[in-house]
Each structure stands twice: as C-alpha cells, then as structure tokens.
Structure 1
Amino acid sequence: MTTTETRSRMTGIGRVLVIVYAVMALAATGRSFVQIVRRFDEAPLAYTLSALAAVVYIVATLGLVFASRRGWYTIAWVAIVFELAGVLIVGTLSLTTPELFQHDSVWSVFGRGYLFIPLVLPVFGIWWLRTHRPAARAAVPSAEAVA
C-alpha cells in the first residue's frame, strides 16, 4: 500500500464516511458507558446492545481507515453488514416487542435517537466499500517458480 493509495481513498466521501463513523463510535461508546455504569439493572439488554453498537462502530471506523489492506477491507465489510443487520433487527424488535427494550439503545427504532443515521450509514458504507475495492497486489514469484 502506498501513501498515494491511502491518500486517494481517504478523500471526499470516504473521509466524510470515516468521520461520521468515528463520531458514531464516540457517541455510542459514551452513551453505553454512562448507561451501563449508572443504570444497567434498569435495561440490561438495551444497554448491552448500545455497547455492542459502540464496538461495531469502532471496528467499522478502523476497517474503513485501513480498507486498502486486504484484511481490513474484509473486517470493514463484516462490521458494516453486521451493523445493518443489527439496526434492522433491533429496530424491528423495538417496534414489535417494545417490552424487550425498557430504554432505547443506539439501534432502537432504527436509530431514531441518532436521527436515523444508524439506518442510513451502513448503506453508504456498503456502497463505498463496493466502489473502492483495494488494488490487487502484484503476485511475487515464489522461489520454486523462479527455479
């Protein structure tokens, strides 16, 4: 990976996407920390899901930053697809079975408490990953192939 390749990936929409993911990571981490420390016994499922969302946003942010490296590109995909599934599942359950969620989590009602950014963000993340695949590395001949 060259510096130019990293720089070109982290401009425009890619940079905005990383910034929004980082802000969501900070917001979800802060929210879950306060919820778990102060009132975990009131809504353990919701607060645990908020902490899970925080971890997913942190991993997705790192995955997007380092997506030009093959392993991180895959990690970004897994985190963002997991995020979308989480938002859709938790959002649906929070509407159909609200008794499970005594308090809101980051993904409750499809991220209503965060202006529905949790619902829209993974869609943009998936689009960005699909349109910005890492460059294929030139195969290095093995010692056996050279001999």
Structure 2
Amino acid sequence: MSAARRSGPHQVLLALYALFTLAAGARSLVQLTTQYDEAPVAYWLSLGAAVTYALGWYAIRTAAAGDTRFASVMLWVELGGVVTVGTLSLVVRDWFPDASVWSDYGIGYGFVPAILPVAGLLWLRRHSRSGLARN
C-alpha cells in the first residue's frame, strides 16, 4: 500500500474502527457473561456492533489497497444497523433496559457510532474519485 493511500483520514478511520471493535467487543462480552438476564437483546446487539466494526476495519484497510466494494457494503450495513437499532431503542424501550452501543444512535459514545459510517462513506467516495481505487 503506497503512502498516498494511507492518508490521515484513512489512519483516523482505522484507529477509530479498531478502538470501537475493542470497546464494543469488551463491553458486550462482559455484559453477556455477567448480566445476561438484564438486557440480552442490547448485549447481543453490542456484540453484533463489535463484529461490524471489525469487518469495517478490514474493509477500510482493503479499500485503501484498491478494492472498495466490500467497504461500501460494510459501511452501508453499519449505517443501517445504527439507524435501525437507534430507532428501535427509542420506539421499543422494553427491548433496551440497558443500552447497546448503537442505542439512541450511539449517544453513550458521543454519537460517534452514527458519525463513523458516514465519515467512512465520505472517505470512500473521495478515495474512489481520487483515482486510487481500482474496481
């Protein structure tokens, strides 16, 4: 991967995706093993978010090498998850007696979960237009 493909925004996205993979994964595993009965839906959704972040990290890394297809799909899946879970957490409060990573559109994480896939899609669009991506 050339230095041009490892831009500042690309490095920030990779760092945030790695951080959220660890944060969401650790949180969900602790909650699933110690508090399962309190809010299983929220805790499983947090684990799903962690897996999505791990796949997003991989997708953004491969997009920088030229193949943007997987990244595009993963970022849209992630955004759909944030919007769906965020909306359900507001409409069906009984399912979320405890928050998930994407509850209320990621309010517990400063709305970064809602902003991250949008930032990734914007980076991907700019990256694709720069001529660095080869589909």
Using structure 1 for the length normalisation, give the TM-score. Answer: 0.83
1:65 aligns with 2:73: no
Of 73, 76, 81, the residue aligned with 1:78 is 73
1:99 aligns with 2:94: yes
Equivalenced residue count is: 131
Please tell me whether the aligned partners of residues 28 and 50 of structure 1 are also in contact (alpha carbons under 8 angstroms). yes
Q: Structure 1: 5+ residue runs without aligned partners?
A: 138-147
Using structure 2 for the length normalisation, give the TM-score. Answer: 0.90
- Alpha-carbon separation, structure 2, partners of 1:38 and 1:69: 42
Please tell me whether the aligned partners of residues 10 and 65 of structure 1 are also in contact (alpha carbons under 8 angstroms). no
| C-alpha displacement of 1:86 | 0.9
| C-alpha displacement of 1:96 | 1.4
- Alpha-carbon separation, structure 1, partners of 2:66 and 2:55: 14
Counterpart residue number, 2:126 = 131
**Aligned to 2:36, what secondary structure does the other structure show?**
helix
Rg comparison, structure with higher value: 1
Counterpart residue number, 2:52 = 56
Percentage identity across paired residues of the two chains? 44
- Alpha-carbon separation, structure 2, partners of 1:8 and 1:121: 22
| C-alpha displacement of 1:80 | 1.2
Q: Structure 2: 5+ residue runs without aligned partners?
A: none
- Alpha-carbon separation, structure 2, partners of 1:116 and 1:83: 14
**Aligned to 1:130, what secondary structure does the other structure show?**
helix
Q: Root-mean-square deviation (CA), in Å?
A: 1.4
**Aligned to 2:35, what secondary structure does the other structure show?**
helix
List, as ranges, runs of 4+ consecutive aligned residues in structure 1 with deviation greater than 4 Å: none
| C-alpha displacement of 1:136 | 3.0
Structure 1 residues 88 and 135 mapped into 2: Cα distance closer, same or farther (>3 Å)? closer
